[in-house]
A and B are shown apart, each in its own frame.
Chain A
Amino acid sequence: MKLRKKKNDDYLEKDLDNLPELTEDRINEFITNTSSKPRKVMNPYKIYNDITKEK
């Protein structure tokens, strides 16, 4: 049982080294970024009914 890396590896070490390091400001940017739009939730039941009712 050895740790295998995934074949399509997201984490190449070169890329990881180049990324900026974590600071509190950067974390806060991510946490407080709520989009002004409300989220679009698709209701598949409704979509299906609309499609089947139309002629």
Chain B
Amino acid sequence: MNNIDINESDYRKLQYITLEMFNKFVYNKANLSKEMFEKELLGYTRKILNANLEKDEIFNAKIDILPISKKKEKNVNGSMLFKEDLNSKNHSVMRVNISKVINGTRNKGLSSPNPKVRMETITRYIETIQHEYRHYKQKRAIRVNDDRVGYTSAEKHIMSRESASMGIKNEFFYKLKNNYKNYFMEADARLSGKTESLIISKPAYFQTKQMIKNGTLKNITIEDVDKDAFDRTVSRETNDIVMSNEMSFFKATGNRSRITSNATDFSIACNKKILKCYPFLGVEYNNDGTRKSLEDIIIQEQRIKNKNYDYQTQKDINDYFDMLYTDILVHKMTKEEFKETTKRIGKENMNELLGRCNNYNVNNRSKKKQDLYQLCENSQCIIDKNSFSTTQRYKEYIEDLDYKIDKEYNDVEKSIMQKENIVERINNVYKTKSQRRESLNNEIKENKKYKNVLKIIKKPVMMWYKISEAFENDKQNKRIVDPDTLRRKSMYNSKSDFLYYDEDDVNLDEKRKELRELKDIREQKVALLTEAKDCYRESEKYKISKEKNHEKSKE
């Protein structure tokens, strides 16, 4: 992808507003109460957002700005909320947390005596606004079909997946912070917010430089200004997005696509009306909320390609379906499903599809893909024309899942029982703690079965539980398992690397264990210390008495 220079004249109005803010808050300290700060900053956010809307030529937009309450969401800088009005289709609500700007992260933000701190807070404030505005543009592209950035449709599909699962799934996004950071929407918004804030604060930057030379600003040096302008995050994001090839951003992230697609499965199972919001997901899912079969997707692609479009759109559509096939074949399907589909479609068609996946160099993909080719060759090929347009019903989907999960669960139960026996045995043999720990670790290293078992546990149990919860009518005939109890069993010794897991819960149990041990050790230590002190005292008494006796004898 070619990097295109930006017209800085578009940002002139925004630059003017920031200069105003710098004159008001940075160069001279403003003595205002918190309420007045809030009022003024709310006014500035409105100005900045309006300037952004003018820049992008969005005339019908209607933005409400709400300050967030300070107690509930301390860690949030800003948040965006998009709502469609059927009349105007442009309504949206935007929330910016101003309390963080006023109070500041380190030294009281805008009310601090140090102008460097004040400058940081204002640049960060502009960053957050630009970041949220980018989210606004993303949502417009996905939901109202009004793309002002020029995303590819593959990217739009990924974004619609992410935002569909963001509405209901707290676990995927908010509890696991690494997941949240690595999503495409967030990375894109972070980068744009950072760069746009650099452009916007350009004249203010030069003005501060001059003021440092003149000696009016004493607490800042030029090096500080440089550091503030260019942060580590920019270098990290650019390595992902800008400095590499066109589709690179989801080349290197098979893991991400797998997780997001599973998350969308859950969210659509919970509320299938979400599909109305994100029409891109209509390619993957039926209106019932079931997943479309691979044949249906192929037919859709052929229908679209029969119509005449520009070269650019044709290329875009091709890339889009390549992405879908890689997600489904390489990341989503199990081996059995793959065999069945090859039977239905035929070897040649499957080979074609696998060849289209070639564009994406995912980690560990090459090994997996070789396996898939072998499977394709080994499978007995039978083509049924009737089965070509079959759709997977929801009940079948759940029944398959139940079968798999019951099977896995039985295995897991057996393995856990075995493990408990081993633990008891070890406890009887080794009585000191250090011995016990070493022996346990050795046993677990030797038996690789447990590791495999633990891997099996983590994924499908949660999935089954969620789906059963979503459909209460089907619950009666099924065994209900608390995921929490299973977790406690499964987290016997090893720490999980799996992303579905809540790390907080895991750490709690381990921490409790550690604390107990520490308590024991501490009590032992205290006892030893008291003994030692007593011994010392006695010895001193003994010394003194000895000396006295010695003196007496001398006398």
Contact = CB atoms under 8 A, between A and B. Distances in A.
Interface of A: 1-6, 8-11, 13, 15-22, 24, 26-35, 37-48, 51-52, 54
B329 interface: no
B547 to A, nearest CB: 72
B460 interface: no
A54 to B, nearest CB: 7
Contacts of B168: 3, 5-6, 11
A51 B11 CA distance: 15
Nearest to A33: B145
Given A4-B170, A19-B86, 4 more contacts: A10-B163, A22-B287, A34-B316, A40-B4
A22 B279 contact: yes
By secondary structure, the B interface counts as helix
B229 A51 contact: yes
Contact of A51 (B150, B151, B205, B483): B205
B273 A17 contact: yes
> Which of the four size classes fits the interface of chain B?
35 or more
Given A6-B168, A10-B83, A39-B1, A51 B279 contact: no
Contacts of B277: 10-11, 16, 19
Contact of B312 (A4, A10, A34): A34
Contact of B167 (A11, A21, A34, A39): A11
Contacts, number: 151
A20 B279 CA distance: 10
A21 B282 CA distance: 10
Interface string B304-328: 1000011011001100100000000
A39 B151 contact: yes
B311 to A, nearest CB: 10
Specify which of A20, A26, A40, A42 lies most central, judged by the most chain B CB atoms within 10 Å of its CB.
A42
B345 interface: no
B150 A38 contact: yes
Contact of B81 (A8, A42, A51): A8
A42 B150 contact: no
Interface string B82-111: 111010000000010000000000000000
Contact of A35 (B150, B275, B469, B482): B150
B9 interface: no
B453 interface: no
Contacts of B195: 42-44, 47
A31 B83 contact: no
A20 B3 contact: no
Contacts of B95: 8
A16 B275 CA distance: 9
B280 interface: yes
Nearest to A54: B206
A53 B199 CA distance: 14
B147 A33 contact: yes
A11 B283 CA distance: 21
A40 B283 contact: no
A1 B465 contact: yes
Pairs of residues from A and B, 4 with the lowest C-beta to C-beta distance, nearest first: A39-B150, A16-B273, A19-B276, A42-B195
B192 interface: yes
Interface in B442-457: none
Contacts of A43: 3, 195, 238, 242
B150 A48 contact: no
Interface string B369-391: 00000000000000000000000
A52 B226 contact: yes
Most buried by B among A24, A27, A31: A31
B199 A47 contact: yes
Nearest to A40: B4
Contacts of A20: 276
A9 B81 CA distance: 8
Contact of B192 (A19, A37, A42): A42
A41 B192 CA distance: 9
Contacts of B309: 32
Nearest to A19: B276
Contact of A30 (B192, B242, B279): B279
B195 to A, nearest CB: 4
